[in-house]
């Protein structure tokens, strides 16, 4: 199926630096493919350290004027970007499905979600209040201001190519920061389309810059070492996050890291099983299991294990697998061969350690990057599926017998992003919410992402929060002024 965009100029194949569309210095390009078909979609510039430095310096030059605007003036542009994104929602969704593979309905949802961060932070930017603190001496007054942190470098992954950008640039731009973004090479077009809409919305040159290239390490190195960059915001793998954090230490840059999870999804014996299945479907199989808040380990109480498994399998068997541009689907392909090999390794390891494949468990007949939606029974905590993020459509069901036992198992991981549980006992709702070692808890729901709430992890899932007033604060510095001689 062809892209057939209503507005073909949303497919930008150059990078936006200092308000103009540019090629890499030597003209080198990288090729972008559709993971559903393997077809070549087009190219983007293969930029490196030189072009990244140029983008950072453009952002540095644009900073004073952007920071000096009123919050309302900045909000006006962000709001316009939001409106343009919704106006072009179908085209942006087609572009995303083509480069990322997710079902078209999910892509449409992601565009709305991404735009929502621009709208919400445009409004919240107006409420970036300071403080007047009762002073410690009668001839003094204490003021607290919040100021934009400065130039922000944002590095985003391929699983949510629009939303991960929206939730970094929304708060950064609203707070008065300027930004250089590096999208993942698998999915650059969603980011470049946002940049195109930013230009149409009247974004001043240099305020938002996008750099693409295959040498992520060189681009990251430039971002973390340039003295003008005051903050790095990264969403991606834990390994790269740790590396960026270390690289930021010498320059003392602020860092927000949203890294891998290993979410427990707990079904207690008193759960509404139909609701739990609906939540598990949303949490586990969305984006073919390729989200950092996907249920990774499904703990099911022994009393309801068989009943839950049966209902889950009925729901999984109804999933339509295929190319999102070719017809209605609920499951797209995995992003690439590396992702496929990890899923295969996890399933093989689970089987070798005694799990039973109840559904799926192999590459899909469609070929390419398609994997069958999978349910594994009799899984246990010693399997790779329980120890690492599978990042694929595989649900391992682990039995448990008591609340205490399942909390211990759920917390036995270095990741701490999301956790979910289903129960109808109010006391247990509180106890388990407080006991789970993670930044986000879904109680009787599998869907927790919204721009109005603080998204982020603890332990090795990173730090910093995205969304809500906390997300805006992450892009500001506090300045305290002591006014004497009054």
Residues 392, 214, 367, 159: is their CA dihedral positive or negative?
positive
Whose tokens are 């470098």? That residue is 153
Interface residue with ligand ADP among 39, 137, 144, 217 (CB under 6 A) is 217
Among the listed residues 89, 216, 233, the one whose alpha carbon sits nearest the alpha carbon of residue 162: 89
CB 157 → ligand ADP: shortest distance, Å? 4
**Nearer to ligand ADP by C-beta: 221 or 378?**
221
Range 293-313 burial, b when 16+ CB lie within 10 A, else e: bbbbbbbbbeebbeebbebbb
Q: Which DSSP symbol is given to 466?
A: B
- 124 is annotated as an active-site residue: no
Among the listed residues 243, 268, 246, 241, the one whose alpha carbon sits nearest the alpha carbon of residue 257: 241
CB 2 → ligand ADP: shortest distance, Å? 27
Interface residue with ligand ADP among 237, 411, 433, 445 (CB under 6 A) is 237
Determine the straight-line distance between the first and last CA of the chain, rounded to whole angstroms: 72
CB 259 → ligand ADP: shortest distance, Å? 8
Tell me: does residue 155 bind ligand ADP (CB under 6 A). Answer: yes
Among the listed residues 19, 50, 445, 409, the one whose alpha carbon sits nearest the alpha carbon of residue 219: 50
Q: Which residue is nearest to ligand ADP (CB)?
A: 220
The CA–CA distances, whole Å, from 175 to 59, 124, 126, 138, 154 equal: 14, 9, 9, 33, 15
Among the listed residues 34, 38, 36, the one whose alpha carbon sits nearest the alpha carbon of residue 11: 34
**Nearer to ligand ADP by C-beta: 124 or 389?**
389
**From its phi and psi, is residue 19 left (phi > 0), alpha (psi between -120 and 50) or beta?**
left
**Nearer to ligand ADP by C-beta: 178 or 238?**
238
Stretch that binds ligand ADP, among 74-82, 182-190, 273-281, 459-467 (CB under 6 A): 182-190
Element (H, E) at 151: strand 151-155
Stretch that binds ligand ADP, among 19-27, 153-161, 306-314, 318-326 (CB under 6 A): 153-161
Active-site choice (119, 258, 372, 403): 258
Query: How many angstroms separate the CA atoms of 99 and 33, rounded?
Result: 6
Tell me: does residue 342 bind ligand ADP (CB under 6 A). Answer: no
Interface residue with ligand ADP among 80, 182, 226, 364 (CB under 6 A) is 182
Stretch that binds ligand ADP, among 235-243, 325-333, 359-367, 457-465 (CB under 6 A): 235-243
The mark string for 239-258 relative to ligand ADP (x by CB under 6 A, - otherwise) is: -x--xx--------------
Among the listed residues 256, 277, 268, 283, the one whose alpha carbon sits nearest the alpha carbon of residue 419: 283
Q: How many residues bind ligand ADP (CB under 6 A)?
A: 14
**Nearer to ligand ADP by C-beta: 76 or 243?**
243
Tell me: does residue 236 bind ligand ADP (CB under 6 A). Answer: yes
Interface residue with ligand ADP among 184, 232, 379, 397 (CB under 6 A) is 184
**Nearer to ligand ADP by C-beta: 75 or 211?**
211
**Nearer to ligand ADP by C-beta: 180 or 271?**
180
Range 121-155 burial, b when 16+ CB lie within 10 A, else e: bbebbeebeeeeeeeeeeeeeeeeebebbbbbbbb
Interface residue with ligand ADP among 35, 103, 157, 264 (CB under 6 A) is 157
Element (H, E) at 482: strand 476-483
Tell me: does residue 141 bind ligand ADP (CB under 6 A). Answer: no
Tell me: does residue 176 bind ligand ADP (CB under 6 A). Answer: no
- Residues annotated as part of the active site: 258
Residues in touch with ligand ADP (CB under 6 A)? 155-157, 182, 184-185, 216-217, 220, 236-237, 240, 243-244
């Amino acid at each position: 199926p062809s892209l057939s965009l209503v507005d073909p100029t949303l497919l930008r194949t150059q990078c936006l630096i200092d308000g103009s569309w540019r090629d890499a210095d030597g003209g080198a390009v990288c090729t972008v493919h559709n993971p559903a078909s393997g077809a070549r979609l087009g190219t983007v510039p293969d930029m490196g350290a030189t072009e990244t430095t140029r983008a950072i310096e453009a952002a540095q030059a644009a900073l004073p004027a952007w920071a000096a605007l009123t919050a309302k003036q900045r909000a006006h542009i962000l709001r316009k970007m939001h409106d343009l994104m919704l106006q072009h929602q179908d085209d942006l969704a087609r572009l995303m499905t083509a480069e990322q593979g997710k079902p078209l309905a999910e892509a449409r949802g992601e565009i709305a979600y991404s735009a929502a961060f621009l709208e919400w932070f445009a409004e919240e930017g107006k409420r970036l209040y300071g403080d007047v603190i009762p002073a410690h001496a009668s001839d003094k007054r204490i003021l607290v201001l919040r100021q934009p942190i400065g130039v922000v470098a944002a590095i985003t992954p391929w699983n949510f190519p629009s939303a991960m950008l929206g939730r970094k640039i929304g708060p950064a731009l609203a707070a008065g920061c300027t930004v250089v973004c590096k999208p993942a090479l698998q999915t650059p077009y969603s980011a470049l389309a946002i940049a195109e809409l930013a230009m149409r919305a009247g974004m001043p040159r240099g305020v938002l810059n996008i750099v693409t290239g295959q040498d992520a390490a060189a681009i990251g190195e430039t971002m973390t070492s340039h003295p003008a960059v005051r903050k790095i915001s990264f969403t991606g793998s834990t390994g790269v996050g740790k590396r960026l954090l270390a690289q930021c230490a010498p320059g003392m840059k602020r860092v927000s890291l949203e890294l891998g999870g290993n979410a427990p999804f707990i079904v207690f014996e008193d759960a509404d099983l139909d609701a739990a299945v609906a939540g598990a479907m949303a949490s586990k199989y969305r984006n073919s299991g390729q989200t950092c808040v996907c249920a990774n380990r499904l703990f099911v109480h022994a009393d309801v294990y068989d009943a839950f498994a049966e209902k889950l399998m009925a729901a999984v068997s109804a999933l339509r697998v295929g190319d999102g541009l070719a017809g209605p689907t609920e499951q797209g392909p995995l992003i690439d061969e590396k992702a496929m090999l990890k899923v295969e390794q996890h399933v093989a390891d689970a089987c070798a350690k005694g799990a039973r494949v109840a559904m799926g468990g192999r590459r899909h007949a469609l070929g390419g990057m398609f994997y069958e939606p999978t349910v594994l029974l009799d899984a246990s905590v010693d399997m790779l599926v329980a120890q690492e993020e599978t990042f694929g459509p595989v649900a391992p069901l682990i039995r448990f017998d008591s609340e205490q036992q399942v909390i211990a198992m759920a917390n036995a991981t270095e990741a701490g992003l999301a956790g979910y549980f289903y129960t109808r006992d109010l006391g247990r709702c509180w106890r388990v919410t407080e006991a789970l070692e993670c930044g986000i808890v879904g109680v009787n729901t599998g869907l927790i992402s919204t721009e109005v709430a603080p998204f982020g992890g603890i332990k090795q899932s990173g730090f910093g929060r995205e969304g809500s007033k906390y997300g805006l604060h992450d892009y500001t510095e506090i300045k305290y002024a002591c006014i004497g001689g009054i």
